[in-house]
């Protein structure tokens, strides 16, 4: 109830600030402000503190929260969750959940991943994909075999970012592959890409120092409304490229296929490139490629630019 109350206050304050048109699911944890209306245009309403019209919205419990309720009723996931918030934590602090989580990480700022592992007497496989996720759980006081209840309820995307010495992430951030035949039948409001960008993220930043990773900071973040609108340009061009059947722009002498998909140099926030096991790991195309007559193409996905993560998330 405390988290839901804080969520309500966040939504209420954003409206009072004249930013009802910038409301996003990523602003809150359990209580969302979901859009309502048969179409985006028909759902527009006047807001009290700004002349810009805002989409009609309603309070909603987030999907992750509802899933958690159903799983509890069915007792399907009994014992698989660990809690960040205990009664003692709530009564001692009573700040936001963001502040409680940050306070657990702050004592480890400047410590290497190996030192953190040692602090909790862990012996982890440092090459496993779950290595940093397990360090995060240890810092939060969650069993390594458990899910983080508050994060699951809030649909929070946890991302561990490894920074180079110049503060640039070692890699761009990938999102799930899109299917060519599906994406052209969706509008922006229904797209998975928009849904992902509107979620709340929890970033854990480690930085390379002489090939050793040191914890630098953590940050809850959701993409600002103007940036979501800018990222939409990448989605629009991607859909247009598929619909026109103009995917491959050229094939080099070495057999490398270059595409018309949005490149990293074209958009400050996002780009599209392959995300597949190999070039024959494909999805069907709804329209044959005009240059090659191909009826399928290597799996692709949207990526968040490393430079955007550095400048707009880590450095701010």
Beta pairing partners, 250: 258
d(CA 209, CA 202): 23
Residues in the chain predicted with pLDDT less than 50, given as ranges, are none
Provide the whole-model pTM: 0.92
Give the pLDDT score at 90.
60
SS3 assignment for 76-135: CCCCCEECCCCHHHHHHHCCCHHHHHHHHHHHHCCCEHHHHHHHCCCCCCCCCCCHHHHH
Q: Give the SS3 label for residue 164.
A: coil
179-186 contact pairs (CB < 8 A, 24+): 179/283, 180/242, 180/283, 180/284, 180/285, 180/286, 180/297, 181/283, 181/284, 181/285, 181/286, 183/238, 183/239, 183/242, 184/239, 184/242, 184/243, 184/286
Characterize the bridge pairing of strands 201-209 and 57-61. unpaired
Question: Could you tell me if 184 and 199 are in contact, meaning their C-beta atoms sit under 8 angstroms apart?
Answer: no
**pLDDT tens-place string over residues 148-205:** 999 999 999 999 999 999 999 999 999 999 999 999 999 998 999 999 999 999 999 9
Q: Give the SS3 label for residue 239.
A: helix
d(CA 164, CA 169): 6
Question: Could you tell me if 274 and 247 are in contact, meaning their C-beta atoms sit under 8 angstroms apart?
Answer: no
* Two structure tokens written together for 123: 């012996």
Please give the span between the terminal C-alpha atoms of the chain, in angstroms, as a whole number: 30
Other residues' Cβ atoms within 10 Å of the Cβ of residue 154: 27
DSSP string across 253-281: TT-PEEE-SPPTTT-SSEEEEE-SSSTT-
Other residues' Cβ atoms within 10 Å of the Cβ of residue 51: 7
Give the pLDDT score at 81.
87
d(CA 274, CA 18): 40
CA angle 114, 120, 123 (to 5 degrees): 60
Q: Which helix or strand (DSSP H or E) is residue 248 part of?
A: strand 248-251
Characterize the bridge pairing of strands 173-178 and 201-209. unpaired
How many angstroms separate the Cα of 12 from the Cα of each of 156, 174, 266, 290?
21, 33, 36, 51
Q: CB within 8 A of 271, min separation 6: which ones?
A: 172, 234, 261, 262, 263, 264, 302, 303, 305
Give the pLDDT score at 210.
87
Give the pLDDT score at 160.
97
How many angstroms separate the Cα of 243 from the Cα of each of 5, 99, 261, 275, 286?
45, 46, 12, 20, 7
Give the pLDDT score at 39.
64
Beta pairing partners, 209: 212
């Amino acid at each position: 109830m405390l988290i839901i109350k804080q969520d309500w206050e966040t939504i209420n304050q954003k409206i009072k600030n004249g930013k009802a048109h910038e409301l996003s699911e990523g602003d809150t944890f359990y209580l969302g402000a979901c859009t309502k209306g048969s179409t985006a245009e028909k759902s527009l309403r006047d807001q009290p503190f700004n002349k810009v019209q805002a989409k009609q919205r309603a309070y909603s419990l987030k999907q992750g929260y509802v899933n958690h309720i159903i799983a509890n009723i069915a007792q399907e996931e009994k014992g698989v969750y660990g809690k960040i918030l205990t009664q003692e934590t709530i009564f001692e602090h009573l700040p936001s959940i963001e502040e409680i989580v940050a306070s657990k990480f702050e004592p480890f700022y400047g410590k290497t991943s190996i030192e953190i592992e040692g602090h909790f007497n862990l012996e982890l496989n440092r090459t496993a994909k779950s290595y940093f996720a397990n360090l995060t759980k240890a810092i939060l006081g969650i069993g390594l075999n458990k899910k983080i209840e508050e994060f699951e309820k809030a649909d929070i995307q946890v991302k561990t970012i490894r920074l180079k010495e110049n503060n640039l992430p070692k890699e761009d951030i990938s999102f799930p592959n899109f299917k060519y035949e599906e994406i052209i039948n969706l509008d922006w409001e229904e797209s998975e890409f928009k849904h992902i960008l509107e979620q709340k993220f929890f970033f854990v930043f480690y930085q390379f120092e002489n090939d050793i990773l040191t914890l630098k900071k953590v940050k809850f973040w959701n993409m600002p409304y103007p940036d979501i609108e800018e990222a939409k340009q990448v989605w629009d061009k991607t859909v247009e490229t598929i619909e026109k059947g103009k995917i491959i722009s050229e094939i080099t002498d070495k057999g490398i296929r270059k595409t018309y998909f949005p490149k990293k140099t074209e958009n400050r926030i996002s780009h599209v490139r392959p995300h597949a096991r190999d070039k024959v790991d494909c999805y069907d195309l709804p329209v044959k490629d005009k240059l090659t007559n191909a009826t399928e193409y290597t799996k692709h996905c949207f990526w968040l630019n490393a430079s955007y993560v550095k400048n707009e998330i880590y450095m701010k």
